[in-house]
Amino acid sequence: WMEEGLATYIEPVARVQAGELPAKQIWSDMLDGMRKGEPEPGDQGLDRTHTWGRTYWGGALFCLVADVHIRVATNNRKGLQDALRAIIVAGGTIDHEWPLTRALQIGDQATGTNILTGMYRTWSISPIKIDLEELWGQLGVRRNGKEVEFSPSAPYAKIREAITTAKS
């Protein structure tokens, strides 16, 4: 779920940062997709619930929530990509088999937080429900018909913008 979730979340974010996709497109996709990753009755956490929606979108939801929490904790100076870069520098690549907890600890060290390991402790074994409407409201993302609109005055508007802006 972590590998698929990272691909589902980070790949479109990177494409926006590279100028290949408009930000509104990936936020629209997230508005539609993230609900597919929510736990259903009988869910036992991401490590033990292997439905398609939980594997891909549940992992992506974990990544989005982690990214937002890291950015809140660091005053938007760091995000999930900073954690991922540190994991790669430390040797955490596809050709090395590591326990997920090791990678998450390195990511937390890079961001100066305990967000990734703390979330993993709960999300891996428990059906964590996210109030998506509240999250979208905080990020200032909403649907108006088929279009996505951004609210620049939302509490986490700067975080939403930072997620889709490439670091220089």
User: What is the SS3 assignment for the chain?
Assistant: CHHHHHHHHHHHHHHHHCCCCCHHHHHHHHHHHHHHHCCCCCCCCCCCCCCHHHHHHHHHHHHHHHHHHHHHHCCCCCCHHHHHHHHHHCCCCCCCCCCHHHHHHHHHHHHCCCHHHHHHHHHCCCCCCCCHHHHHHHHCEEEECCEEEECCCCCCHHHHHHHCCCCC
Contact by Cβ (8 Å): 157, 140: yes
Listed residue (5, 60, 27, 32) closest to 139, CA to CA: 27
Other C-beta atoms lying within 10 Å of the C-beta of residue 125 = 13
* Mean pLDDT of the 103-124 span: 98
Listed residue (143, 2, 142) closest to 84, CA to CA: 2
Which residue has 């992992």 as its token pair?
Answer: 59
pLDDT at residue 167 greater than cutoff 80: no
Confidence (pTM):
0.96
Cα–Cα dist 96/106, whole Å: 15
Over residues 38-50, the pLDDT tens digits come to 999 999 999 999 8
Mean pLDDT of the chain: 96
Q: Tokens in use for 44?
A: 């036992």
Give the pLDDT band of residue 96 (cuts 50, 70, 90).
confident
Q: What is the pLDDT of residue 133?
A: 97
